[in-house]
Amino acid sequence: MTSATDVPAAALQLRDVALRFGGVTALAGISLEVERGELFALIGPNGAGKTSVLNCVSGLYRPASGSIAAIDRRGVRRYVHTLPPHRIAAMGVGRTFQNIELFKHMTVLDNLMLGRHVHMTGGVLSGGLYWGGQQRVEIEHRKQVERIVDFLRLEPLRDSEVGNLAYGDQKLVELGRALALDPSLLLLDEPMAGMNAEEKESMARFVLDVNQEWGVTVVVVDHAIDVVMEIADRVAVMDFGEKIAEGAPQQVRADPAVVTAYLGRQEGAAT
């Protein structure tokens, strides 16, 4: 079911979302609300269900129960938990993946152009002829992609095959392709995984700029806890498919349940 309501405060709203694979419960009634313009972090141990949340929001998984609503580009809230991934992407929900999902034999520029696919409305005939209106449309799409190339400082790599790039550069291209969608809501799954300290700092700055300068609502999942705590407005913590804490980074960092489940016991704490 898809429905529209008045313009809401929340960019993303999950209500009692449950997800099961056979006898395994991946999500046990998760409820979250991400405000418009917020940088929201979702953290937790491996297997806690963080990526499952993103997969439900983006339509790769369909929840067993509960509801998920997100705003589209016009600011209208729509229920997305029964929609296919391409419909959700067309609303303006972009994402990156924990395992890089790029076309490695294509160039950086071509991978970014693929991120514009939801905006390309020309038919087979006009696309094949490539003249007149269709040519103007592609030129406009290329302008948007060039803006992303400049933003992510990918100019020296624009014509390189993605498979030949360093891992950190591939992560930037993955982010760029998600930005090419012109998202109003951006889901980032482990954007800093496998990076060194310098690369993590650079990626964190790009994520902050996307949120603060581009005005995109961001939900980020990552194990780089110190970095996430520095950039997030609010943090939710998951463990075994359940939300165990939520709040400002300083509040969450000090939560005993979080310390026990994820961050490790504080020095000098009772055993």
User: Can you give the pLDDT at residue 264?
Assistant: 56
Q: Which portions of the chain are predicted below pLDDT 70? A: 1-9, 119-137, 262-271
Same domain, 85 and 106: no
| DSSP-derived pairing of the beta strands 93-95 and 10-21 | unpaired
User: Can you give the pLDDT at residue 211?
Assistant: 96
196 within a domain of the structure (yes/no)? no
53 within a domain of the structure (yes/no)? yes
Which CATH number fits the domain that encloses residue 57? 3.40.50.300
User: Can you give the pLDDT at residue 258?
Assistant: 83
223 within a domain of the structure (yes/no)? yes
User: Can you give the pLDDT at residue 137?
Assistant: 64
d(Cα 98, Cα 193) in Å, to the nearest integer? 8
CA angle 18, 20, 21 (to 5 degrees): 160
119 within a domain of the structure (yes/no)? yes
Same domain, 223 and 251: yes
d(Cα 19, Cα 22) in Å, to the nearest integer? 10
User: Can you give the pLDDT at residue 270?
Assistant: 36
Q: pTM for this structure? A: 0.86
Q: Which domain holds residue 148?
A: 98-181
Same domain, 4 and 63: yes
Cβ neighbours around 234 below 10 Å, total: 19
Indicate the Cα dihedral angle 218, 223, 229, 233, nearest 10°.
20
User: Can you give the pLDDT at residue 94?
Assistant: 94
Same domain, 87 and 102: no
86 within a domain of the structure (yes/no)? yes
The number of distinct structural domains making up the chain is 2
| DSSP-derived pairing of the beta strands 242-247 and 234-239 | antiparallel
Same domain, 177 and 225: no
